[in-house]
Structure 1
Amino acid sequence: MAVGKKLIVVGSYNTRNEWFCLDGYASRYESEGDYFTVGRVSGFSSFGTLRDGRNLPTVCAPGSTIISSVNRYFTDLDDVKEQADKLYQAKATGSDGRVSYWKQEIGTSMSTPLVAGAIACWLQADPSLTYADVQDIIATTSVVDDDVRAGDPVQWGAGKFDAMAGLKEVIRRRGSSSISGISSDDAAGRLVVTSAGRNAYTFFIGGVPSIEANVYSLGGSLLSSATYAGDEITVSLDGFAPGVYIANVNGHARKVLVK
């Protein structure tokens, strides 16, 4: 099914091989080699070269091990219902009294919807994106680390899918025109704020030649200032007292938290 033209084909890599159940005990996948090794491509992830020379998959995304929902129609089956509490790691009862379960899952059935959802976000940022644009953005922004370099290049495709890096690239390519779905103070710039670790933030405004980040107290006192010749800067707030502060980046204000 994945060999048709103009498809984004997604493989799987491992982000964890153990998980904790509600009873407090850990479960773990054990295997020979790198089948479930964290960071490596999943052993079950299919790959190959087609007769026309195309290599698949396009890219790999987290597919093992993912905590996912269990189909309610399946758990409602008589021969499953009595065993569901034993088979699955967690459950929740909704307001309608129906019980829903979730458990660990593996497969490209996990990695593919992750990429599909991320590309949907990219299309919100720029509805004019074409298949070729998406392919190129994936190739440009996917992570190629030691795990990717150690594996089969065909099995990895472009490497490890990076949803945020892709979104930033979409914004860069579109420039400062109106982009729906991304909070901003005006139509002249777009500010994206992401965590860069404990008490550190990355500020991004696609397409600007330089970026200036000033951090203020809620009382309006300037506490720190940093500039960078580019459209992205990371600022550490280590040493600040716990609380809420205002970051003003190229005239765009956001609240940031120090824990």
Structure 2
Amino acid sequence: MAACDYGSFAAGGNEGFVDGSSASTLASTSTGKNPIAVGAYVSRKDYTDISGKIHNNPWTEGDIYVRSGKGPTFDGRIKPDVVAPGAAVISSLNSFAAMYSVPSTDKVYSETTNDRTYYWGVGSGTSMATPAVTGTMALWLQANSTLTLEQAKQIIGNSAISDTYAKDLPNSVFGYGKIDALAGLKLIITETGINNTKYATTAYDIQNGMLIMDGKHHVTVYSTDGTKLFDTSASTVDLNQLATGFYIVKFGNNAIKYCRK
């Protein structure tokens, strides 16, 4: 028996064969006992491409994405472990591939810097959902660098979101639910006793173009190619001097990506 999300596999009356189903469609690489297997749910179904054309996909926001791998494993274990946004996700494209192998209907934005054009495009599937969970794991490890695999899985199980679609958890479609990076981080901070640690906080005043911090910090601003544009020591930094574009703003040990429109 084979599984299929699109189309179907039919036995066709052949002895020893049965019709295929949409059960247990997991890739073999995600069925191991150590990997955190990630599924994808529909975070967005519509998008506008670079030419201004609106694309409407026949999906349901919040429900599982049609090509997200489903469990269980052959030995009956729950997989995936968790799901993350994975439908019509906007991300940067390889600047070499985008020119030749990505159709214009998948591109949503472009920007030219130093005579080179960079593109952003739309992608769907677990290849888009997995980086979201990977980034969440990195965030959690920043809070507690000794976090073990089993502890991470436990945090996922205790903090993942259940809702109208992700219910009766855990199950072999949504795993333990939808990843919640903040809820998991709060659990880690509480359980490891680092809730009193002092972190630099920042806010951006969009109307006045001002970066406001909780005290005086050394701030450095870089272009996306790594060129340092200016630095200063202050608690308030005026970013209006920057031209339209993307920048990296570093203050102390923190860095944020800043877009000036």
Which amino acid in the other structure matches residue 127 of structure 1? S
**Match of 1:2?**
30
**Match of 1:91?**
110
**Pairwise CA distance, 1:84:** 5.6
Identify if the C-alpha distance between structure 1 residues 171 and 104 changes in structure 2 by more than 3 Å, giving closer, same or farther. same
SS at structure 2 position matched to 1:68? strand
**Pair 1:147-2:162 in alignment:** no
Partner of residue 199 from structure 2, selected from 154, 158, 183? 183
**Match of 2:56?**
28
Which amino acid in the other structure matches residue 98 of structure 1? R
Matches within 5 A, 1:220-235: none
TM-score when normalising by structure 1: 0.61
**Match of 1:189?**
none
**Pairwise CA distance, 1:24:** 3.9
Partner of residue 19 from structure 1, selected from 33, 37, 47? 47
Partner of residue 60 from structure 1, selected from 62, 83, 90? 83
**Match of 2:184?**
166
Partner of residue 127 from structure 2, selected from 106, 109, 112? 109
**Match of 2:152?**
134
SS at structure 1 position matched to 2:96? helix
**What do the CA deviations read for 1:205-241 (whole angstroms, capped 9, x no partner)?**
xxxxxxxxxxxxxxxxxxxxxxxxxxxxxxxxxxxxx
**Match of 1:75?**
98
SS at structure 2 position matched to 1:45? coil
Identify if the C-alpha distance between structure 1 residues 106 and 122 changes in structure 2 by more than 3 Å, giving closer, same or farther. same
Identify if the C-alpha distance between structure 1 residues 146 and 99 changes in structure 2 by more than 3 Å, giving closer, same or farther. same
Partner of residue 37 from structure 1, selected from 29, 52, 60? 60
Identify if the C-alpha distance between structure 1 residues 85 and 147 changes in structure 2 by more than 3 Å, giving closer, same or farther. closer
**Pair 1:118-2:136 in alignment:** yes
**Pairwise CA distance, 1:155:** 0.7
Unaligned stretches of 5+ in structure 2?
Answer: 1-28, 204-261
**What do the CA deviations read for 1:55-100 (whole angstroms, capped 9, x no partner)?**
21000000002011222232344xx4xx8656522211123x2211
* Counterpart-to-counterpart distance in 2, 1:138 and 1:62: 15
The question of whether the paired residues in 1 share the 8 Å contact of 2:95 and 2:119 is answered with yes
Which amino acid in the other structure matches residue 183 of structure 1? Y
Identify if the C-alpha distance between structure 1 residues 134 and 19 changes in structure 2 by more than 3 Å, giving closer, same or farther. same
Runs of 4+ aligned residues of structure 1 deviating over 4 Å after TM superposition are: 83-87
TM-score when normalising by structure 2: 0.60
The question of whether the paired residues in 2 share the 8 Å contact of 1:40 and 1:151 is answered with no
Identify if the C-alpha distance between structure 1 residues 87 and 115 changes in structure 2 by more than 3 Å, giving closer, same or farther. closer
Identify if the C-alpha distance between structure 1 residues 13 and 153 changes in structure 2 by more than 3 Å, giving closer, same or farther. same
**Pairwise CA distance, 1:175:** 1.1
Identify if the C-alpha distance between structure 1 residues 20 and 156 changes in structure 2 by more than 3 Å, giving closer, same or farther. same
**Pairwise CA distance, 1:153:** 2.4
SS at structure 2 position matched to 1:149? coil
Identity fraction in percent: 33
SS at structure 1 position matched to 2:35? coil
**What do the CA deviations read for 1:136-170 (whole angstroms, capped 9, x no partner)?**
00000001111112899211100111011011111
* Counterpart-to-counterpart distance in 2, 1:44 and 1:26: 22
**Pairwise CA distance, 1:25:** 3.7
* Counterpart-to-counterpart distance in 2, 1:60 and 1:100: 30
SS at structure 2 position matched to 1:48? coil
Q: Which has the higher helix share?
A: 1
Which amino acid in the other structure matches residue 39 of structure 2? G
**Match of 1:210?**
none
